[in-house]
Amino acid sequence: MVLNFIKSRLAAFRNDESGTVMVETVIVLPMLFWVVAASYEFFEVHRYNSARDKATYTVADMISREMSTVDANYMDNTKTLFDSITNDDGDTQLRVSVILYDADEDKYNVKWSEVRGDGRLTTLTTSAIETANDDFPMMSDGEEVIIVESVSDYPALFNVGLGDDLEIETRVFTSPRFAPQIVWVN
């Protein structure tokens, strides 16, 4: 009799469905919040990267159309333009370099390189790119190319597995358009 009573109570407990909504909510709600936060964060990373791509292309196009000389004031204003296009108050860094290809020696030479902003980028040197054939486009002898690079740290809003700060890098190559070369003047 006691054994039957225990069996019937255990069977009733097993078949009882009250409270399942609460248990499911406790299990599913944190996962749902994580999915929403991760979706937002991944969208924001792509938006952030897209803004930097567009700003880098704009700067590269602007410099490629320059017919007069480029100086420090021009570069300072270029960085200001870059920051206003990206609509960001964070730390961004911009490097503009003009590279000349020598086909006889099959090497690249830096004509000039300038960096604006604080970060890990330094001015590009000839020794750093002498044999960078895999990193640069195919060029003919004496051809110049403008390289515009930007580096920004994406400040994550939610911790969804992207890390603390994600570094966003962009690099654009373009040729001078209206003038045979882009001249730097100190």
pLDDT at 162: 65
- Domain presence at residue 182: no
154-184 pLDDT tens trace: 888 877 776 667 888 999 999 999 888 888 8
Which stretch of DSSP H or E encloses residue 51? helix 20-64
The total of structural domains in the chain comes to: 1
Q: Are strands 165-174 and 144-155 parallel, antiparallel or unpaired?
A: antiparallel
Specify the 3-state DSSP secondary structure of 95. strand
Extract the tokens encoding 44. 């924001």
Which band of pLDDT confidence, cut at 50, 70 and 90, is reported for residue 53? very high
Residue-level pLDDT at 140:
85
- Segment (H or E) for 80: helix 72-86
81: its two tokens? 């333009």
The structure tokens 């640069």 sit at 136
How buried is residue 57: exposed, middle or buried, by Cβ count under 10 Å (0-12/13-18/19+)?
middle
Determine, yes or no, domain membership for 134: yes
For residue 150, the model assigns a pLDDT of 95
Q: Average pLDDT, whole number, for the chain?
A: 87
Is 179 among the domain residues?
A: no
Let me know if residue 3 belongs to a domain. no
Which pLDDT band holds residue 132 (cuts at 50, 70, 90)? low
- Flag whether 184 is in a domain: no
Domain containing residue 155: 16-174
Judge whether 8 lies within some domain.
no
Average pLDDT for 42-50:
91
Is 101 contained in some domain? yes
Rounded to an integer, what distance in angstroms lies between the CA atom of residue 54 and that of residue 22?
A: 48
pLDDT given for residue 136 in this prediction: 81
Out of 69-83, 100-114, 150-164, which region has the weakest mean confidence (pLDDT)?
150-164
